């Protein structure tokens, strides 16, 4: 039978069979950089990339291109420039469409320039006096000038001059625009002088030059392109 000393020796913690599992770390302590009680630590999720993906859609650029093509409507030119600027801003953030945006802007500016040049002529030409000038008075004026060049007899030339003067006066009376009305009246005055000189048998070259000048002024005032 083992003695009490031997029993104490056999039951001591030094014996691996009796000692049991080693004691874990105390609560709140860390082992190998991991908090006690945590089996594993999840990896932090990757932050999503900011901004649109390269090659994304750009509706503003498409709108700019379509508006630029339809710039002849006037409002299309304005929209083409606005959409083009927005499309360029979006393309700088990673989307496609820079070429479409620039194309829309350029076409819109071309249409805008055309409107700036043509619109004043269209407005002038719409004047009732200018309409009458182009439809009838100008034809009779040109016929009287041809008489000078062909050296037609004074009777026919005087008659054509009188007819041209009558039509020009009627056109000036219908005009609602001060500029065109003044230009048409100046042309009437020069034709009256030419008729007086024709009756005297001689038309000075200065009168012909003055007629050419006043006719050009009438064309400009009435928006003739």
Q: CB atoms < 10 A from the CB of 121, how many?
A: 14
In the prediction, which pLDDT does 43 show? Answer: 52
User: What pLDDT, in 10s, does the model give residues 42-53?
Assistant: 555 544 444 444
Does pLDDT of 209 surpass 80?
yes
**DSSP-assigned beta bridge partners for residue 30:** 35
Question: Measured between alpha carbons, how far is 98 from 23 in angstroms, rounded to an integer?
Answer: 69
User: What pLDDT, in 10s, does the model give residues 5-36?
Assistant: 444 444 444 444 444 555 544 444 444 444 54
C-alpha distance from residue 67 to each of 41, 78, 190 (Å): 56, 8, 49
Residue 34 in 3-state DSSP? strand
First to last CA, the chain: 136
How much is the mean pLDDT over the chain?
A: 78
C-alpha distance from residue 200 to each of 153, 155, 156, 195, 196 (Å): 13, 12, 14, 9, 6
User: What pLDDT, in 10s, does the model give residues 93-144?
Assistant: 888 899 999 999 999 999 999 888 888 878 888 899 999 998 889 899 988 8
Give me the phi and psi of 20, to 5 degrees please. 85, 180
154-174 and 138-150 helices, crossing angle to 10°: 160
Q: CB atoms < 10 A from the CB of 214, how many?
A: 19
Residue 30 in 3-state DSSP? strand
């Amino acid at each position: 039978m083992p003695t009490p000393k031997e029993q104490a020796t056999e039951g001591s913690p030094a014996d691996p069979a009796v000692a049991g599992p080693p004691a874990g770390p105390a609560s709140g302590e860390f082992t190998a950089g991991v908090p006690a009680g945590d089996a594993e630590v999840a990896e932090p999720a990757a932050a999503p990339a900011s901004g649109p993906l390269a090659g994304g859609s750009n509706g503003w650029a498409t709108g700019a291109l379509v508006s630029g093509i339809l710039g002849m409507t006037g409002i299309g030119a304005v929209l083409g420039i606005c959409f083009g600027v927005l499309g360029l801003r979006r393309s700088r953030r990673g989307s496609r469409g820079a070429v479409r945006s620039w194309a829309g802007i350029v076409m819109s500016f071309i249409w805008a320039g055309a409107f700036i040049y043509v619109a004043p002529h269209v407005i002038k030409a719409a004047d009732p006096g200018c309409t009458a000038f182009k439809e009838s008075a100008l034809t009779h004026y040109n016929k009287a000038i041809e008489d000078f060049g062909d050296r037609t007899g004074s009777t026919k030339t005087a008659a054509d001059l009188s007819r041209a003067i009558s039509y020009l006066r009627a056109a000036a009376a219908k005009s609602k625009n001060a500029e065109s009305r003044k230009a048409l009246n100046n042309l009437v005055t020069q034709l009256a002088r030419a008729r007086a000189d024709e009756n005297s048998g001689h038309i000075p070259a200065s009168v012909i030059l003055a007629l050419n000048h006043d006719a050009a002024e009438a064309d400009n005032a009435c928006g003739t392109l």
